[in-house]
Amino acid sequence: MKILVPVILLLIAHFQYRLWLGDGSLKETRAYQQRLAELKRLGEEKRQRNEKLIAEVMDLQNGQEAIEERAREDLGMIRPDETFFQVIE
């Protein structure tokens, strides 16, 4: 019985050390959870951006209107039968 109490106390001390300071401690686990949440958020942002780009590519492949719209907005192009008006404020 005399040897059992110190052995139990040593085991408790050992497990407490591992819980608070060792590998896989609560602090380390919390840091990993925060990093995982951040990576999930970044992954979701990139997934949404990729979906928008895929939709834009599909639109450009399937329709003339999308190509016209890009030419008008990005390159300032107009059709031969159109008149261009510039409004200065």
At 57, list the tokens: 């590519």
- Give the pLDDT band (50/70/90) at residue 22: confident
What is the C-alpha to C-alpha distance for residues 55 and 66, in angstroms, rounded to an integer?
Answer: 11
**CB-based contact 25:18 (threshold 8 Å):** yes
Judge whether residue 1 has pLDDT over 80: no
Mean pLDDT of the region 26-44: 94
Number of structural domains (the chain) is: 1
CA distances from 39 to 31, 32, 47, 77 (A): 12, 10, 12, 41
Q: What's the confidence (pLDDT) of residue 50?
A: 97
**Quick check: pTM over 0.85?**
no
Per the structure, the complete domain to which residue 58 belongs is given by 4-75
Tell me if 26 is assigned to some domain: yes
pLDDT tens for residues 54-74?
Answer: 988 888 788 777 778 777 778
At 38, list the tokens: 């951040």
Tell me if 71 is assigned to some domain: yes
Tell me if 58 is assigned to some domain: yes
Tell me if 67 is assigned to some domain: yes
